[in-house]
Amino acid sequence: MGATAVVGGQYGDEGKGKFVHYLVHDEEIKIIGRGNGGCNAGHNVYDPERGVALALHLMPSGVFGKDTVNVVGDGCVINPHNFVEEMDSVEACGMVLTPKNLKLSSRAHVTLQTHRNIDGATDIVGSTAQGIGPTYRDKAVRIGIRLEVFLKDSWRDIVCALIESHNAELLVLERPDLVVVIDEEIKKLEAPIAKIIPFITDTVTYLSDENAKGSTIMIEGAQATMLDTNHGTYPYVTSSSATVGGITIGLGLPLTAVTRVIGVFKLPMTRVGKGPFTTLLTEDEADLHDTLAGVKGEKGSEFGATTGRARSIGWMDLVMAKYAHRVNGFTDIGLTKLDMLSGIPVLKIATSYTLNSQEITNMPADTEQIELCSANYTELPGWTEVITGVSEFSKLPINAQSYVQFIEEYLGVPVTMIGTGPDNADLIKR
């Protein structure tokens, strides 16, 4: 049947995990893999059988699947400390992680504490401060360390050399406070490395064999199209490719393996970190902020799963969505948080921008120009009914149905899944 890729269409945090989780169970997906990013990502998974919710970062969302195999692919970056913490939290819920159900690519790169320190000392885009940029930088300039290094007796010397160069860099950056004691760092790595070694393997060969056998595979995108290092609002992007091509290649699957590309969009949309946000709520719309975000601590609240930072909130942007579709070629659209729009009398949805007094329907390539754009909205009538947990499209208020159909028609792609609440079951499948 081919592989399914789940891709963020906006600035991340679209709720991709909800659909991944649903499809893993509904379609009995055998393998779920990550091909980009590291612990900068955050997704919440809920296991109804055990009644536990976990905030995961790099661990694929299939960990609670009965026989699901979770793969962290070549294009990912792994911080051994953070990853082992995630493994521990999954195991604390009663799951048994074995080399059969968790596979880490020997080609994935390693994030060290000094990568995080350099990130903290050099960041200009509001990064998650997890060391992701410096790790991909080291990979690109070919001084990075891959997981395979830990399979060699000499790993301590190799890690030591990289930390030495990072320490020197931190001194040049005039941050002696961030320089680390090398022996201590190596010592701290011993236990996490010992724990992950059995899981390190050649995931490309594994995936290729499974793909040839016709196994169901899902590629779980991290971050999103507008944070993609090639196609996003550069420089306000992450350091990996988060679009369908990047996450597929990053996992080590051929592009031809992918037959379904699900673009996920959140209504309302959000952004963390710096960079343009054309449909951001205005000051006059401040009273809508809490309705759309939920109040902190309650279900639906908009705070980053990795950083805890408040997310900026705005209206659905179809100009951006169309651009994301151009880049990814979505076959399906998934919408999350339709329920958060209940009770808003008029729903705005951006259908064009104005740039230098001209109306445009294409996203400009130049980020400075995007910053100069203002959104032109189509206004659609809202609905008052609470729709939390509605699971059939025909049971939605007619205005909610029309809102979804408007998006579908604008993009020319079917909306096949709609999130109607925080629980896994709060979902419409069409």
Helix axes 132-140, 113-122, angle to 10 degrees: 100
Measured from the CB of residue 41, what is the shortest distance to ligand IMP in angstroms?
A: 4
Among 132, 193, 264, 349, binds ligand IMP (CB under 6 A): 132
What track of x and - describes contact with ligand IMP for positions 234 through 273 (by CB under 6 A)? --x-xx--------------------------------xx
Binding residue (CB under 6 A) for ligand IMP from 84, 93, 120, 126: 126
Q: Does 36 help bind ligand IMP (rule: CB under 6 A)?
A: no
* 13 is known as an active-site residue: yes
For the chain, helix (H) and strand (E) counts, in that order, are 12, 20
- Whichever of 202 and 371 has its CB closer to ligand IMP, that residue is 371
Which amino acid is it at 385?
A: E
Q: How many residues bind ligand IMP (CB under 6 A)?
A: 20
Distances (CA, A) of 68 to 20, 102, 189, 243, 396: 12, 9, 28, 24, 33
Give the HSE-up count for residue 94: Cα atoms under 13 Å, Cβ half-sphere: 9
**List 62, 133, 334, 421, residue binding ligand IMP (CB under 6 A):** 133
Q: Which residues pair with 349 in a beta bridge?
A: 316, 378
Q: Answer yes or no whether residue 223 interacts with ligand IMP by CB under 6 A.
A: yes
Q: Which two tokens stand for residue 297?
A: 């601590």
Check binding of 203 to ligand IMP (CB under 6 A).
no
Residue 105, interface with ligand IMP (CB under 6 A)? no
Pair type for strands 346-355 and 374-381: antiparallel
Q: Structure tokens of 347?
A: 């729903």
Nearer Cβ to ligand IMP (24/227): 227
Q: Is 130 in the site for ligand IMP (CB under 6 A)?
A: yes
| 57 has catalytic annotation | no
Query: Which residue has its beta carbon closest to ligand IMP?
Result: 273
Q: Does 42 bind ligand IMP (CB under 6 A)?
A: yes
Contact with ligand IMP (CB under 6 A): which of 4, 7, 10, 12? 12
For ligand IMP, the closer of residues 262 and 272 by Cβ is 272
CB-CB contact of 211 with 257 (8 Å): yes
| Residue 32 Cβ vs ligand IMP, minimum distance, rounded to whole Å | 17
Among the listed residues 227, 247, 338, 413, the single contact to ligand IMP using CB under 6 A = 227
Q: Quote the CA–CA distance of 186 and 143 in Å, as a whole number.
A: 18
Torsional sign, CA 39, 151, 102, 30: positive
State which residue, 216 or 238, has the beta carbon closest to ligand IMP: 238
Residue 321, interface with ligand IMP (CB under 6 A)? Answer: no
Candidates 36-44, 331-339, 376-384, 389-397; binding stretch for ligand IMP (CB under 6 A) = 36-44
Q: Residue 197: exposed, middle, or buried by beta-carbon count in 10 A (0-12, 13-18, 19+)?
A: middle
Backbone phi, then psi, for 120, in 5-degree steps?
A: -60, -35
Q: Contacting ligand IMP (CB under 6 A), which of 4, 36, 40, 312?
A: 40
Q: Is 101 a residue that touches ligand IMP (CB under 6 A)? A: no
Of residues 245, 240, 197, 242, the one with CA closest to residue 83? 197
User: Active site residue: 21, 43, 57, 109, which one?
Assistant: 43
> Among residues 150, 144, 184, 148, which one has the least CA distance to residue 166?
144
Integer CA distances (angstroms), 219 to 51, 121, 311, 335, 341, in order: 25, 33, 25, 18, 29
List strands edge to edge, sheet with 258-266.
200-201, 102-105, 69-72, 31-34, 217-220, 3-8, 258-266, 332-336, 415-419, 427-429
By annotation, the residues acting in catalysis are 13, 43
Site of interaction with ligand IMP (CB under 6 A):
12-13, 40-42, 125-128, 130, 132-133, 222-223, 227, 236, 238-239, 272-273
